[in-house]
Structure 1
Amino acid sequence: MDGIAVRRVIPSDNSCIFNAVGFIMDHDKHKAQELRQVIAATVSSDPEKYNEVFLGKSNASYCQWILDNQKWGGAIELSILSEYYKREIAAYDVQTMRCDLYGQEHNFDERVMVIYDGLHYDALAMSPAEDVPEEFDQTIFSVRNDRTIGNIERLVFELVKEANRKRSYTNTSYFKLRCGVCQIGLIGQKEAVEHAQITGHVNFQEFN
């Protein structure tokens, strides 16, 4: 299939990583709760692998935490979902233009892709042309013997490079946030995490 690389926008509802994976795996942007449960079940079933050092919190605390639809996911969750679906997940970072590949150690024969701007995940796909409905997207790609997926890899990197050129990312070390509960101003991800731990508030908005 020839076409163009497209970025499919996922709603910003604290579950974007899960809904992005739902779309690229199953063409379904409403799988967050189901995939959170998959992750919790996986983690709780192997407390030796998913220990406190690995998770940053106890196994039981993590499982409770990831089921909260206000909590974000990241590398741990992508790694687990890659194994669950038995497909590599390539995660492109707009700021660094780096691609982190989850599941590559398993030599899966298919790959899917997401894009990350520092705060938010969207889905990546190949569309036959501009403005073609999402149902015609190809989101799953065969991995070749050389561990590449063909021309779509180049097209996606060009898309990521253009997003970087436009500075379409958030530097989480310095971005300004306001707590939606108490309206206090915060600088960077570190302060936001500390504020959340102290107050339990997790509703943040970015502001200039």
Structure 2
Amino acid sequence: MRLRIRHAKGLLTISDVTLEQSVLELKKCISKSIGLASNQDVEISGGYPPKPISDNTISLKDAGLRDGDTLNIKILDTVVAPVHKENSTTVKEGIVETPTGFLTLRVMDDDNSCLFRSIVVVEGIKSDPITYSDATLGQPRDKYMDWIQKPNAWGGAIELAILSSHFGIEIDSIDVQTGRVDKFGEGKYDERVLIVYSGIHYDALALAPTSDSPMDFDQTRFSVTDEYILKSSSELVNGLRKSHRFTDIANFTLKCEQCNTGLKGEKDAQDHAAVSIQLLLIDNLNNILTDLA
């Protein structure tokens, strides 16, 4: 049988074991393949979500393993009694160590498409006029669909709900400023993905085998029954909040480049922009009338 092994040094594939062999024999095979010292042992976690396999005497078949399974390996020092790690540990900002790997913040390009590709959203709005009515969208449907396809437009809760339905997966969005978790598609699907919202930008969370693993080895889909990964995500976000890695859109300060007026928050800026545009139009109209006179 063939097993994929994820461990702190990377990934490897083992194919010289059988279902009839014991867990202890598998551990020896893994230790040899990784090149562990004689005073080191391994702890195997299998299944979904991963759970430690503690009985060394049972066969791989009785342990519930199957050909093609991916196992998470934790390297232990046998000088002290192995202790199952119950709490996650912050390694550095944006990375939290868990028993099965390193939960890592994957920063997305700041190109106004960090959340989605708008064609999916437009199709979702078109196909469900009842859920996504003018009232829900806050403006006429056609106008909203035209706006969301512009390169400088980006979405939020409405778009996350549509993407959840489109991809058939729960999307959990964690707000850095408040720690609030918004679950889109909750109760409908078996798996979830995790994203982090800074107030103006969305980034992804992934489970990596090491703290510096490339994205090729990332796990981004998690069982909705795995509450531990959600707790680890909250711990990671708490670290971002302490470092003020968010934008408070209700209270940030701006200065108008046209009139040097000081502004506070998104609403203040939007209201001022609307007034400024109106004044500019009136001024242009007055100039035109003066020229005609």
Counting helix residues as a fraction of each chain, which structure ranks higher?
1
Q: Report the CA distance shift for 1:183/1:77 in structure 2 as closer, same or farther (over 3 A).
A: farther
What is the correspondence of 1:52-201 to structure 2 with a 5 Å cutoff? 52-106=134-188, 108-144=189-225, 149-177=226-254, 186-195=263-272, 199=277
- Partner-residue secondary structure (3-state), 2:171: strand
Q: Deviations over 1:73-131 (max 9, x none)?
A: 1000001100111100000001101111000042x001001001111111111111111
Higher RCO (CA 8 Å, separation ≥ 6 residues): 1
Q: Report the CA distance shift for 1:62/1:197 in structure 2 as closer, same or farther (over 3 A).
A: farther
Unpaired runs of at least 5, structure 1: 19-34, 200-208
Contact 1:44–1:60 (CA under 8 A) maintained in structure 2: no
Pairwise CA distance, 1:48: 2.5
Equivalent-residue separation in structure 1 for 2:191 and 2:146 (angstroms)? 31
Q: TM-score, normalised by structure 2?
A: 0.56
What is the correspondence of 1:33-48 to structure 2 with a 5 Å cutoff? 35-48=117-130
Match of 1:28 in 2: none
Give the residue type in structure 2 aligned to 1:134: M
Give the residue type in structure 1 aligned to 2:211: E
- Partner-residue secondary structure (3-state), 1:171: coil
In our comparison, the structure showing a higher alpha carbon Rg is 2
Pairwise CA distance, 1:42: 1.4
Equivalent-residue separation in structure 1 for 2:166 and 2:274 (angstroms)? 30
Using the aligned pairs only, state the percent identity.
42
State the aligned residue count: 178
Q: Report the CA distance shift for 1:178/1:129 in structure 2 as closer, same or farther (over 3 A).
A: farther
Equivalent-residue separation in structure 1 for 2:120 and 2:157 (angstroms)? 15
Unpaired runs of at least 5, structure 2: 1-71, 73-99, 278-293
Equivalent-residue separation in structure 2 for 1:194 and 1:129 (angstroms)? 47
Contact 1:91–1:99 (CA under 8 A) maintained in structure 2: yes
Give the residue type in structure 1 aligned to 2:163: L
Contact 1:37–1:67 (CA under 8 A) maintained in structure 2: yes
Pairwise CA distance, 1:197: 5.2
